[in-house]
Amino acid sequence: TNRAARALGIGALVGVLIGVAITGLSPARNATPEILARTAPTLLDLAVALLSGLAGGYATVHRRGETAIGVAIATALMPPLATLGYSLAVARFDYAFGALLLFLTNLAAIAFAFAVVTRMRGVARPFRTVRITRGLIFAGFAALLLLVTPLALTLRRISLETMALTAARREITAIIGPSGGSIAQLGVNWRNMQRPRIEAIVVSERYIEGAETELAARLQRQ
């Protein structure tokens, strides 16, 4: 166990340092959609990691395509580490937290799924021989809570922003429709426990008096 933990720690550190080095040498520093996608993990990512771990455990136990499964698991662990390295290099610690959370989510889910499969198939010590204490149960629930809570909050935020974006687009279209206008840009930011912030750029053939006030009233009702 100690050797595995040491190998994992060294590998993760190397992955992060390579990400920092490549970002430092690259003239491009803007976050791409691929990077941003790995800074906001949700419960869906946890579900995907669990399925990957189950597939990997099954393949390893039955000696069927374990190399391909190993590559698939590596692709689940390396991108968050690369994103973490990029985030540290550009001093975006909010991105770094999200990337680290995604890495820990994938790692914990894959390891848990592997353990379940190997114990159920008798490769590792079966569950019936494991002594489960209150402290072990408490530690497990505490770790699960620490992992699931931010994932659930992120999923809730994304759901709220999607709902607000749909409502804003619908109401803006209803206001500017008669004037032949169009929405050039629309963005929504709705953090947990905060009021939503909606920013829109609208192109219209004529000026619409009181459009912003009317839109705010419509969205308030929504």
DSSP 84-150: HHHHHHTT-HHHHHHHHHHHHHHHHHHHHHHHHHHHHTTSS--GGGS---HHHHHHHHHHHHHHHHH
User: Residue 64: pLDDT above 70?
Assistant: no
Q: Give the highest mean pLDDT range of 1-5, 12-16, 188-192.
A: 12-16
Which helix or strand (DSSP H or E) is residue 164 part of?
A: helix 134-176
**Assessment of whether the complete model's pTM goes beyond 0.85:** no
Confidence category of residue 87, pLDDT binned at 50, 70, 90: very high
The CB density around residue 80, as the number of other CB atoms within 10 Å, is 27
Cα separation, 25 vs 35, whole angstroms: 17
Higher pLDDT among residues 66 and 112, named by residue: 112
Confidence category of residue 47, pLDDT binned at 50, 70, 90: confident
